[in-house]
Structure 1
């Protein structure tokens, strides 16, 4: 992201063994709102309606494209990302409220936010249904009693082994995805270099499995949003009336 923002030569790829996909840095992290699908805009607008309860927390904010969309509408939002260079990129794009942090231990105060926005299949990095529950509990900690959260994932009942990094699971509605990132760049001297990231493990779960996973958390799945036939979906979570499971 930082190299792309600086206009430095380089390319990002997703790799699982011999299977390679283009990282699409421009599309994933720097695309303009005009190119976003209707569901993306709908979710962003919906969260604006929660800001009477507190700002929005964008978890896994990357280079800040959603934060910029809110900022253009005078909506208060804070970004968190595990990558220091992603946060630096967002700051160079004019965003000030962006923090480096672990989403399982967010560097923000309890009950400080009205909503959490965590897309890019961040939820799957829980790695298991228990891990997803832990992540949901952390999102509950940082939101008030009326808070909402938007998360996303891929429904494995609509996937097959052609999906990059796909790993089956004997359980219905559960699968896994594993891959790593590779960046090939060029130094000022003209020498080429390659950086290889750690292997990422995502748990893929169907909406039904997500509902079951949230049963022991302060959240419940209020709505599932997805285009017809697609494996990718977004889920809108709301706090239970008691504010706890």
Structure 2
């Protein structure tokens, strides 16, 4: 198991626009996050996406959290500012968070979450069989950029979960998306598409100086549930349920139940 407590963490000076936006919002400091794809710009909606009240969450979000809570301890991969970790903590669930953004992790810690660390989901700094469940939402598995890349991520999630492991991941179904979906890139293959954009944060330092931080371009693979099932081939995982909310879906994977619910 990972340590119960993690050491002090300072704000990171590297390019981390999303994390900086979370930290600024929590500290009530000025700043704006945007998504940019060429000339197209979309507001980052930090408050809505990372600090919303559970009362505003859809049923699929709660269902997914309940699935992993039943298989604790839980690793929340890409935990961000810790919203889902707080929900789990309120219910006494043993959970640890990990995020590639040092400033997101700092935000989560300032919100009172102690078991949160900086780490890369492609090389999880977690012992084998340490968790009963992994929760990976925010369409992060799409950063695998191909079905083979997603398969590698799933193999990594299998390593750190026990024999009765449960995983919840999410993505967008290209079969249900409009062509004007932000950052959308078509693909000739059925059930496959791509999404590209980068994040920019404009903030203000303590001395009043304005600054702008630009993140790297993010490239996501979008795949239908049927294509996602292909990515589980050769892994210990079986998709046992799909929780849909319009074009977005969450796939529930298990090691112990080879028979899909649907």
TM-score, normalization: structure 1?
0.94
Q: Which residue of 2 aligns with 1:87?
A: 105
1:21 to 27, 35, 42: 42
Which ranges in structure 1 are unaligned for 5 or more consecutive residues?
none
Q: Which residue of 2 aligns with 1:7?
A: 28
1:232 aligns with 2:253: no
1:166 to 140, 164, 184: 184
> 2:64 and 2:176 mapped to 1: Cα distance?
22
* 1:77-134 deviation digits (Å, cap 9, x = unpaired): 0000000010011011100110100001111110010000000001101011110000
> 2:224 and 2:82 mapped to 1: Cα distance?
28
- Confirm or deny: 8 A CA contact 2:32 2:202 kept in the other structure: yes
Q: Which moved more, 1:189-198 or 1:95-104?
A: 189-198
Q: Which residue of 2 aligns with 1:100?
A: 118
Q: Which residue of 1 aligns with 2:153?
A: 135
Aligned-partner SS, 2:238:
strand
Q: Which residue of 1 aligns with 2:55?
A: 34
- Confirm or deny: 8 A CA contact 2:165 2:256 kept in the other structure: no
> 2:63 and 2:158 mapped to 1: Cα distance?
22
Aligned-partner SS, 2:121:
coil
* 1:191-225 deviation digits (Å, cap 9, x = unpaired): 22111000000000000000111011111111111
* 1:17-68 deviation digits (Å, cap 9, x = unpaired): 11111101011111111111111111112222112xxx10000000000001
TM-score, normalization: structure 2?
0.88
> 2:100 and 2:240 mapped to 1: Cα distance?
28
**Root-mean-square deviation (Å):** 1.2
Which ranges in structure 2 are unaligned for 5 or more consecutive residues?
1-21
Higher relative contact order (CA 8 A, sep 6+): 2
